[in-house]
Chain A
């Protein structure tokens, strides 16, 4: 900063400490609760002192699930979430790369029509077309399948836009040089465009993986069998309508398990993700 005002720096630290505390608090509570037994929680309320049931809670959560309205093993639900998130992230990246490549590097017939058609899907989130989309999926016999969980979500207006903008910054000389060297469209795509897009691909991957993992309404609609549930909707179903018979310790452990993979992805890929997010949406 420009001038040194000590009290302002102290104030900034105080504000940040308070902010970080509020941000971390619910997770800390959940983490501590996941080490306590359900009886202990029911009698007293969650305590911030760690309990001794961590092993039992996490093992039960992973292998059996809570005894609520649905009892799914967390490993199975995490696997479902992981598969769906990977399919969505990879699908979105591949489809957007291809579409942007076609729009930028070819004399694509009706170019603007296709571009706007993809772009305007931004205005049609699942929430505004719930029942008809459900009907399409059920007519295609895709209820309770990985395809049904991921396919309708892999069109990506933001991804296409991101790659389109990036491709426009590539110098014309690059394409000319590649053509002179005899590289056809496939070769140019594979050996020039993809390697140059690596950072953007990594950024988009983080954002879309989290988007896929955290889906709620869509899996809620189209999964009817317990074994196809993703972990985010599984947690809600573990809580019995009557709070007093919910197996809280195990539910809390499952909540932690549901958060760990996407949070790790964000923390370890922080640099790409921040860049991707800011470049992507502005």
Chain B
């Protein structure tokens, strides 16, 4: 990454890079190191006296039924949100390409704007739709005798959270799939058509494999989104309830730390999340660089 021609000053570039490095150290590395340290100590929230306990906080964590449940719940949540958001986006992107010449631009604008909507607001808007007493569909579902009430029923609340989170992520995936589709050379598709491949065969044998790097990249982004950024959806609508049925890991770490003031336990949860993010990021860079196609 070195260029041939450079300015020779040594102090100046250090001054240029300093503000960003300072922020990284003060607000990222120092707190992250503190989290790792606290996860190895048992801390009294009031006195601040702490004892080194090694991995005890982690042992406690993984022996708690609640934590393991939250872990499994997050995995299911992440998988459902990603699969729904990716498949709907892919379908819409393929359909947009089909009509690109006549009305592609209009559809593109109509589909991409939710990118600007905050996850919390996406959650709140779907709440207005499905609220059992004021929701436009929710109330009807109650009147129909379907027993709809996400405020009291855990599985319904979980479903609503998956739906709201996936809705918000469609636009992002759509933008990338559309760009990926546009990058596929027309000549390839035409050649296949001349050889007699119909639209579905062309999609399966040419378009889909060529899109797989984009798809893989998006899969990781979607999992990270579902694990971390959907905090707003959950906090704004269900607060992890009812009966912890929507408490995913990132909500639990917030709740135990900020509301429950369990410093060691919350720090241990932070470290587990850190390991997850680091793992996902490494996978992303390893495979995206190498390009996943067959």
Contacts and interface: CB of A to CB of B under 8 A. Distances in A.
> How many B residues touch the partner, as a band?
35 or more
Contact of B111 (A23, A114, A122, A221): A23
Interface stretch (B49-57, B59-67, B71-79, B270-278): B270-278
B21 A114 contact: yes
Interface in A257-282: 258-259, 262-263, 265-267, 270, 274, 277-278, 281-282
A150 to B, nearest CB: 11
B99 A23 contact: no
B136 A29 contact: yes
Contacts of B217: 281-282
Given A23-B170, A103-B17, A281-B221, A263 B113 contact: yes
Contacts of B20: 95-96, 98-99, 118, 155-156, 160
A195 interface: no
B277 A128 contact: yes
Interface in A102-143: 102-109, 111, 114-115, 117-118, 121-125, 127-136
B98 A131 contact: no
Interface string A159-186: 0100010001000100110010000110
A8 B111 contact: no
A121 to B, nearest CB: 5
Interface stretch (A44-52, A54-62, A64-72, A196-204): A44-52
Contact of A117 (B24, B120, B170): B24
Contacts of B35: 128-129, 131-132
A232 interface: yes
B167 A23 contact: yes
Contacts of B26: 136
A11 B94 CA distance: 11
Contact of B266 (A12, A46, A106, A131): A131
A216 B170 contact: no
B9 A106 contact: yes
Size range of the chain A interface in the assembly: 35 or more
B5 A255 contact: no
Contacts of B96: 12, 16
Among A23, A105, A118, A160, max chain B CB count under 10 A is at A23
Query: What DSSP secondary structure best describes chain B's contact surface?
Result: helix
Given A13-B99, A16-B107, A252-B128, A99 B16 contact: yes
A33 B269 CA distance: 40
Given A29-B125, A232-B118, A232-B121, A106 B95 contact: no
A168 B3 contact: yes
A237 B147 CA distance: 28
A42 B270 CA distance: 41
Contacts of B113: 263, 266-267
A95 B22 CA distance: 11
Contacts, number: 313
B288 to A, nearest CB: 8
Interface string A1-40: 1110100110111011001101111110110010000000
By DSSP majority rule, is chain A's interface helix, strand, loop, or mixed?
A: helix
Contacts of A101: 13, 16
Contacts of A172: 3-5
B232 A217 contact: yes
A128 B32 contact: yes
A19 B111 contact: yes
A75 B196 CA distance: 61
Nearest to A155: B23
A41 interface: yes
30 contacts: A1-B98, A2-B193, A12-B96, A13-B99, A15-B95, A23-B167, A96-B20, A103-B17, A104-B3, A108-B10, A117-B29, A127-B254, A127-B270, A128-B32, A130-B258, A132-B35, A136-B26, A172-B3, A179-B5, A188-B7, A216-B118, A216-B119, A217-B232, A217-B235, A232-B118, A255-B128, A258-B118, A259-B116, A262-B116, A266-B115
Per CB-CB distance, the 6 closest pairs between chain A and chain B, nearest first, are A132-B31, A106-B13, A102-B13, A214-B118, A132-B34, A216-B232
Given A16-B99, A106-B13, 20 more contacts: A2-B189, A3-B193, A13-B103, A23-B170, A98-B19, A99-B17, A102-B12, A107-B8, A107-B13, A108-B14, A124-B277, A129-B28, A136-B27, A136-B30, A179-B5, A232-B232, A235-B121, A243-B131, A259-B117, A277-B172
